[in-house]
Amino acid sequence: MSLKLANRDPIPITLLSGFLGAGKTTLLEHILTSNHGLKIAVVINDMASVNIDAELISNHKVTTVKEQLIQLQNGCICCTLRGDLLEELASLAKDNQFQYIVIESSGASEPMLIAETFTHEYSEMLKQLYTDLQKSHENNEIVGNVVKLGGLSAIATIDTCVTVVDAFNFISNFETVEFARDANGDVPEKTLSDLMVDQLEFANVIIINKASAVNAETQYKIREVINNLNPSARIISTDYCQIDVSQILNTKMFDFHQAMHSSGWLKSFEEEIERRKAPPIRHESELEYGLNNFVYISKRPFHPVRLYNFLVDKFILIEDSFIHENDPNSIIIKKRNSVFGSVVRSKGFFWLATRFLMKGEWSCAGSMLTLKNGNPWFSIMGQYDAKEDIYNNGDLISRLFADRRQEIVFIGLFMNKNAIIQELDKCLVNDRELMAIEKIVFEASSYMEIENNLQLLFEDPFEEWGIHFGSGPVDVEYEEDEDLMDEEMDTQT
C-alpha cells in the first residue's frame, strides 16, 4: 500500500515513545523496510540500535542526535528546547528531499514536551523571544535558523504520536519504584511509572508489543488499563511490531489540543460533572465493585496526620523537595494487599486542614504518589462563583469553604469503590475537628490568620508549601483580607 504524499510543507512526523526494550527499534526497522512509497528521514538517539542492511534503506536517511538542551530566557518568558532536534529538522527542511520524518524519543522523554514545540503558539512565542534576545545582542544560531524558516510549526507537524509498550513487562512497570534516567544517566524528577502513564495518556496510537508473551486474560487487562488511561487512543496488539504501517504513517489523526485533554482521568472529571448536573437513575442493589474509574469527592478537609499515616506505608510518597523512603518491596506488597491494590492511576487535587490558601495536587501511578502544592483556591483569587459550583448546596460548609474540597479520580480494574471511599473518609476531619475549623474561619479577620491558626490546631507532617501561581513559587501578600473574605461570603449566599 502506497502512502506517498503530495508535495507539501510542513513535513509530517510520527513521534515514537516507549521504554527501552518495548520494541521501538523493531518498529523503526519495520517502517524502513515496508513498501509505503515514502522517502523517510529517521531521527534516533543510537545509530547502533538499528541493525538493517544499508541497501534495504538506501532510499531513507537515519540520523543519530545527542540530546542537547538550549535554555532561552528573557524577562518572564523561559523555554528549554531540544537543540539537537531543532538543528536536524532545520537541515531536513532545507534539503527538501524527504516526505516524512520519524522521531524516536528516548525512553525517558515525555512526548508532550516534544509535540508542544511543533504548535503554532510555541513557534510564535519562540519568534518573539528570539527577537527580544537579538535586541539585547544575544544570539543562538540553531534557534535563529529555525525562526528564519518560520518556526518548527512551519517546518514540520506531528501527524501521529505512538507509544510502544511491552506486554510482558507492562504490569511490573506500573509497580516499579524506580526513577527514569535520561540519556546522560541522570535521574530526572520522574518515576518510571509516572513516565509510562505520561506516554500512554498523550499518545493517539498505542502498540501493545510482544502480546503473545502473556495469556488472553492478561492481554485483556492490559487493554482495559490502557483504554481507561486514554479512551481516545487506537490500541494495536502485535508481536515484533508487525503492523500495517498505514496505521502510524500519514494518518492525520494527531491533534495537540485534543491530546492534552484525552487522558482518562480528565474525562472522568467531565463525566462526573455531567452526572451531577443530571443524576442517572440507579437501582439500590447496584454494586459499586468492578468499576474502572470513579471520582472521590468530599467537602471536608483531610486531617494531615491521618492522611499521612494512611498513605506512607502503601506508596512511595514524593513531595517537591523530599521523597519519603521506605522499603520498596514492602510498599509494593502493602499496596497490593490494600484497597488500592487494583488502582493503577489516580489524579486530582486535595485539601489539607492546615492549608486554607492552597490546593494540593495529587498524582499517582502505580506505587508512586506525588503530592505537591497547586494553585490557590478560586475563592482566594476572588474568582469563585457559587452559582457555577455544582458541589455547593448552600449549607454552612459551602459558605465558609467555597471551592475547597477533595476531588480525585481513581482508575483501575475491579476496584471496590465503596472500600476506597471508606478508607479515605477515615482520613477526613471528624465533626468536632470540623467545628473547630469553622470557628477559626468564622472569627478570623484575614486569610493568613486562618492559615496560622489552623497550623496551630493540627500537626502536619507534610512539607511546607510556597505560594504557587502555576509557574513557580512567588511571594504574595494578601492585602484584600477582610474585604475579600466578606465579598467571598456574600457571593456564596
The whole-number average pLDDT for the span 225-230 is: 89
| Bigger pLDDT: 367 vs 433 | 433
> What average pLDDT score do residues 394-418 get?
83
Average pLDDT over residues 110-125: 81
Ordered structural domains, the chain, with CATH: 11-262 (3.40.50.300), 265-462 (3.30.1220.10)
Q: What percent of the chain has pLDDT over 70?
A: 70
Band of residue 440 on the pLDDT scale cut at 50, 70, 90: very high
Residue with cell 508489543: 209
Rounded (10°) CA dihedral 294, 300, 305, 308: 20
What is the mean predicted confidence (pLDDT) over 449-454? Answer: 94
Provide the pairing of β-strand 289-298 with 406-416: antiparallel
Q: For residues 38-65, give the mean pLDDT.
A: 62
- Quick: pLDDT tens for 292-345: 788 899 999 999 999 999 999 888 888 887 777 667 777 777 888 888 888 888
CA distance 307 to 314: 12
Compute the average pLDDT of residues 122-145: 70
Supply the pLDDT for residue 395. 65
Whole-number Cα distances in Å, 440 to 271, 302, 354, 369, 455: 35, 16, 12, 31, 11
CA 337 to chain centre: 26
Higher pLDDT: 182 or 429? It is 429
Asked if the model's pLDDT at residue 457 lies above 50, the reply is yes
Q: What percent of the chain has pLDDT over 90?
A: 31
Q: Mean pLDDT across the stretch 104-113?
A: 76
Mean of pLDDT values over 425-450:
94
Residue 78, pLDDT score: 43
| 275 pLDDT more than 90 | no
Indicate if the pLDDT at residue 233 is higher than 80: yes
pTM of the model: 0.74
pLDDT at 477 over 50: no
Res 216 pLDDT > 90: yes
Residue type, 415: M
Listed residue (207, 202, 391) closest to 298, CA to CA: 391
Distance of CA 483 to the CA centre of its chain: 37
Mean pLDDT of the chain: 77
b or e along 39-59 (b: 16 or more beta carbons within 10 Å of the residue's beta carbon)? ebbbbbbeeeebeeeeeebee
User: pLDDT tens, 186-197?
Assistant: 445 567 788 888
Pairwise pLDDT comparison (271 vs 297), residue with the higher score: 297
Which residue would you say has higher pLDDT here, 3 or 422? 422
- The residue with cell 481507561 is 228
pLDDT band at 4 (very low <50, low <70, confident <90, very high): very low
Least confident of 185-199, 208-222, 429-443: 185-199
DSSP string, 147-199: HHTT-HHHHEEEEEEEEEEETTTHHHHHH--PBP--TTS---S-BHHHHHHHH
What is the pLDDT, as a whole number, of residue 278?
Answer: 55
Best CA proximity match to 125, nearest among 136, 137, 117:
117
Give 19's pLDDT tier (boundaries 50, 70, 90): confident
pLDDT band at 362 (very low <50, low <70, confident <90, very high): very high
Distance CA 224, CA 228 (A): 6
Mean pLDDT of 135-147: 68
Give the pLDDT confidence score for residue 365 in this predicted structure: 87
Highest mean pLDDT pick, 109-118, 325-334, 401-410: 401-410
What is the number of alpha carbons within 13 Å of residue 348 lying toward its C-beta?
25
Q: State residue 98's pLDDT score.
A: 85
- Confidence class of residue 274 from pLDDT cuts 50, 70 and 90? low
pLDDT at 155: 85
List the single range of 49-63, 110-124, 355-369 with lowest mean pLDDT: 49-63
Q: Is the pLDDT at 265 greater than 60, yes or no?
A: no
